[in-house]
Structure 1
């Protein structure tokens, strides 16, 4: 073997080894770039997830605020509805009481009118009775007086005698009448005497 060939071979091995190391280092650098890109993509994905989470939290906050606003409005409306219902119930009760009072007043007026009509009817009935009794008594007395004046010795016919007896009964009834009945008859006569 030539002694001069050995250093050349050593130098060639050295360069081969250096090239291999450079290639290996280049592969490491390429792998580092790939890993760096992968890490950048993962960081970008994480950042996107963080932004999405932040958007979701903002939406949740907005929905919570909307729910609070709706709940507040519902409470206000419920309170207003309660006040309106209480007012309507009070007005209905007042109207019902006023209606009942009006009905009672109308019934009282009708009762007063009925009582007045009954008093008038009783007065008219008493007046007719008094007039009938007075007329019957006057006719009986007139008939008896005429019969006595025309024929003092002639007995009275049965009809005239019956009328005279009826007149006596009416006179007896008037004699037996109490103060209340006589007062009523006087009131009737006084009302009849008044001009209409």
Structure 2
């Protein structure tokens, strides 16, 4: 490989490393967005708790008004009791409507959080795969540029360990191979 080809190769490698850095920055931005969505969900849940407390206070007020109205014996008192009861029901119905709306918003935020988790998982997988590919590309480039360089002892140890594992796999029985395939299939399945 002449110097021009080496220069082009390293320029391409630098471009890929820069693209990898941009991918990492994008992953961090997605993670910050995910944190903001969780904070928004927490705020909606607090609002729902406040609405529930308001409903309890209104119900208690309605019960008090109804108890006072029951003690009155004349028609004017009964009419006042009916008006108070109707106002309390309307207030409770209004607050229940607000609670349902807040619950729907909280569910939408939770769904968005779950989608963000999935997207974040995909970014992590893409990041790991890209990192591994860059490592392999770097190793391949290093080997092609300097094929006479001796292999480091730890790499030679890993290669020897790989050869031993391959030899063990070749000696494995059909039952053992089936068990290994089942374990690999379980690892390949996504977590629920």
TM-score by length of 2: 0.40
Higher relative contact order (CA 8 A, sep 6+): 2
Larger Rg: 1
TM-score by length of 1: 0.39
